[in-house]
Amino acid sequence: MKFIVRAGNADDCRDIERMIRELAVYEKMPDQVKISHRELERDGFGSNPYYQCLIAEVPEEQKSKDGHTKVGYALFFYTYSTWKGRVVFIEDLYVMPDYRGKGIGKALMATVAKVGKEKQCMRLQLSVLDWNKSSLDFYLAKGAEDLTAKEGWHFIRFSGEALDSLAQEAP
């Protein structure tokens, strides 16, 4: 299968939103998606971007049954480890079901790794749901470590009322 991996741009935001929603359905959390292409455009392609995105695109003759040529994406950003330094974090890595197993996910992830190395990142990190064995196996086969199993780390989140309450405690 022919495909390219390229940097996303503001014109891709409707397709990125579509694939985010597809990923949320796959992850059994479709009601959690509150973002729209407008926020994606503002937050990724404005003057101070919060994220970067790669797009996997197939030629027109290989488009999906729904007419899509943008068939995968990797959305990532930079963070920092006080122990190691610069880190690139993949928030989402998604390939439409009919295009899986064809090297697209590997190409997206490898390109994020390459971009991270060019930015002198010491780590590439991501999270995966505990029931998503196929994705976990994919990452482990590429050399990733499962830090929950190995070191006992837990991913913690404050949102909604908990975030509001915590912010109100600031001096």
* Paired tokens of 137: 């196996």
Active-site residue identified among 73, 94, 99, 139: 139
Geometric angle at alpha carbon 151, from 87 and 20, rounded to 5°: 50
AA identity, residue 56:
A
139 catalytic, yes or no? Answer: yes
- Residues with a catalytic annotation lie at 139
